[in-house]
Every structure is written in structure tokens, then in C-alpha cells.
Amino acid sequence: MPLILVHEEERKPAPRTLLCNID
């Protein structure tokens, strides 16, 4: 779900985004 990833990154660039990317 790249859409959610982009949304999360725009919302708050946290280390969680990296984890989602790996997922």
C-alpha cells in the first residue's frame, strides 16, 4: 500500500515509515 506510505510520510516523517517501507 504505497498510498498509505506516502500519506504517513507526509503526516510525520518518523522511523515507522521505514518499517512500513520494508514491509
Per-residue pLDDT of the chain (23 residues; tens, 9 = 90+): 555 555 555 555 555 555 555 55
Burial class (CB in 10 A: 0-12, 13-18, 19+), 20: middle
pLDDT of residue 15: 55
Q: What is the pLDDT of residue 7?
A: 55
3-state secondary structure of 20: helix
pLDDT of residue 10: 58
Please give the pLDDT value at position 13: 58
